[in-house]
């Protein structure tokens, strides 16, 4: 890990089936930014506890997510990939920051409003203070940049507000992080309703491409994607289904929207859908194969988990100790 570089921090929840949205909106950018920064990527298992988890399944998913990070091309020797719950500083700083965050701020979070409407039978306090734990994740590592999809921007704003509030009382304790949002792919929409984001919790399995879908399923889902009846190849807001397909195509192939529109001019939507399917298979299939290879080597993964947790703890604890000292908590006598 290059210590002269600026710090990048990001993570994903270890819940549900990750979608193409998670990959194109976040993970893909992590890989492209990895060389420029000192990078920390967390498997956010504590965040996942806001929803009841089956313990055995949950443990498997957390490991699988770490495996996915590696399979996507993030080198665990050069970057720090770790499980959030293995670094106790996260929960500790989150409590401290809870005391610097207002109920009013948290009640304005759209994700809290959406999620509490969706899980009306389990609106727990963790769901409410979720953004504070996320602020702790980011601030512990003196982060400069946080690559996320658009849906996390509000959480980044509150992180900055909390950090600035704390700094204005105690001096420059935290670096103030900036979001990094990719030019395309920051909001991949549902294939069945392009007014909604593609989400792992969508009830309609055809709405999302899951990272573990097999090639035929991916092709079928792309073929069934909702478009429009205009029969015009264009990249514009008035044709949101088509625009989303172009976004997926462009993010997978690296082409610009103008290039992609030119490529499909005079062709039917069917041909575009087929090409989108192939582009997605071309990205996901090699990643799935690589995941299977890595998962087969249990001792390798165990070593990655242990060594990276130690590195993450070392960095996080430096900030936590500074915070505790600043606010007047008693240090352990030497
Ligand atoms: P999560 O697990 O919901 O999503 C992980 C990442 O995927 C992005 N994303 C999308 N991007 C484009 N289109 C979509 N349809 C789409 N769906 C999801 C998300 O924006 C995110 O970047 N709270 C975070 C996890 C977290 C975190 C952090 C992130 C916890 N602590 C600290 C960064 C830094 C979350 O639930 O993401």
- Summarize pLDDT for 94-151 with one digit per residue, the tens: 999 999 999 999 999 999 999 999 889 999 999 999 999 999 999 999 999 999 999 9
Percent of the chain at pLDDT > 70 equals 99
Residue nearest to atom 19 of ligand 1 (CA): 149
pLDDT of residue 92: 98
CATH number, domain 6-185+298-327: 3.40.50.620
Mean pLDDT (whole number) for 25-39: 91
- Ligand 1 proximity of 190 Cβ (cutoff 6 Å): no
Tell me whether residue 115 is one of the annotated catalytic residues.
yes
Q: What is the dihedral of CA 90, 96, 99, 104, to 10 degrees?
A: -20
**Delimiting residues of CATH 1.10.240.10 domain(s) in the chain:** 215-292
Q: What is the pLDDT of residues 66-81, one digit of tens each?
A: 999 999 999 999 999 9
Mean pLDDT (whole number) for 46-69: 95
Q: What is the pLDDT of residues 224-244, one digit of tens each?
A: 999 999 999 999 999 999 999
Cα three-residue angle 138-144-145, rounded to 5 degrees: 80
Give the number of the atom of ligand 1 that is nearest the alpha carbon of residue 138: 32
- Ligand 1 proximity of 146 Cβ (cutoff 6 Å): yes
Mean pLDDT (whole number) for 53-73: 95
Give the number of the atom of ligand 1 that is nearest the alpha carbon of residue 200: 17
pLDDT of residue 331: 85
Tell me whether residue 200 is one of the annotated catalytic residues.
yes
Reduced to 3 states (helix: H, G, I; strand: E, B; else coil), residue 283 is helix
Reduced to 3 states (helix: H, G, I; strand: E, B; else coil), residue 214 is coil
Which range (16-25, 154-163, 207-216, 247-256) has the least confidence? 16-25
**Delimiting residues of CATH 3.40.50.620 domain(s) in the chain:** 6-185+298-327
Reduced to 3 states (helix: H, G, I; strand: E, B; else coil), residue 202 is coil
The active-site residue out of 6, 187, 200, 322 is 200
Residue nearest to atom 22 of ligand 1 (CA): 148
CA distances from 250 to 180, 206, 243, 280 (A): 19, 21, 10, 10
Confidence of residue 183 (pLDDT cuts 50, 70, 90): confident
CATH 1.10.240.10 fits 215-292, yes or no: yes
pLDDT of residue 4: 66
Confidence of residue 1 (pLDDT cuts 50, 70, 90): very low
Tell me whether residue 113 is one of the annotated catalytic residues.
no
pLDDT of residue 2: 45
Is pTM beyond 0.85 here? yes
The stretches of 151-268 forming alpha helices (DSSP H) are 153-170, 215-223, 240-253, 257-264
Give the number of the atom of ligand 1 that is nearest the alpha carbon of residue 151: 20
- Sequence-ordered list of residues with C-beta below 8 angstroms from that of 62, at least 6 positions apart, any chain: 14, 43, 45, 83
Q: How far apart are CA 147 and CA 12, in angstroms?
A: 11
Q: How would you classify the pairing of strands 37-44 and 80-83?
A: parallel
Q: How far apart are CA 154 and CA 269, in angstroms?
A: 35
Question: 240-253 and 257-264 helices cross at what angle (nearest 10)?
Answer: 110
The active-site residue out of 28, 197, 221, 243 is 197
Q: Which of 51, 151, 209, 243 to mutate to test the pocket of ligand 1 (most atoms within 8 A of CB)?
A: 151
């Amino acid at each position: 890990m290059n210590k002269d570089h600026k710090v990048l921090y990001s993570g994903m929840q270890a819940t549900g089936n990750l979608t193409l949205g998670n990959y194109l909106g976040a993970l893909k950018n992590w890989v492209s930014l990895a060389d420029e920064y000192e990078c920390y990527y967390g498997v956010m298992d504590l965040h996942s506890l806001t929803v009841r988890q089956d313990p055995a399944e949950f443990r498997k998913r957390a490991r699988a997510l770490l495996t996915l990070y590696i399979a996507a091309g993030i080198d665990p020797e050069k970057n720090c990939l770790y499980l959030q719950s293995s670094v106790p500083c996260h929960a500790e700083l989150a409590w401290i920051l809870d005391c610097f965050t207002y109920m009013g701020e948290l009640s304005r979070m759209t994700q809290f409003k959406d999620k509490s409407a969706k899980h009306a039978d389990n609106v727990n306090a963790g769901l409410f203070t979720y953004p504070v734990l996320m602020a702790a994740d980011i601030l512990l590592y003196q982060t400069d940049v946080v690559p996320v999809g658009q849906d996390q921007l509000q959480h980044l704003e509150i992180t900055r507000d909390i950090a600035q509030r704390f700094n204005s009382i105690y001096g420059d304790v935290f670096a103030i992080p900036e979001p990094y949002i990719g030019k395309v792919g920051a909001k991949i929409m549902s294939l069945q309703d392009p007014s909604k984001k593609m989400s792992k919790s969508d009830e309609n399995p055809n709405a999302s491409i899951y990272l573990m879908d097999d090639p035929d399923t991916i092709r079928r889902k792309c073929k069934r994607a909702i478009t429009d009846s205009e029969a015009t190849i264009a990249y514009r807001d008035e044709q949101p289904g088509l625009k989303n397909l172009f976004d997926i195509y462009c993010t997978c192939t690296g082409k610009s929207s103008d290039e992609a529109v030119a490529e499909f001019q005079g062709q039917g939507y069917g041909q575009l859908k087929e090409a989108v399917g192939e582009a997605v298979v071309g990205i996901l299939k090699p990643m799935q194969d690589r995941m299977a290879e890595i998962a087969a080597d249990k001792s390798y993964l165990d070593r990655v988990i242990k060594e990276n947790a130690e590195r993450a703890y070392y960095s996080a604890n430096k900030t936590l100790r500074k915070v505790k000292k600043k606010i007047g908590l008693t240090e352990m006598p030497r």
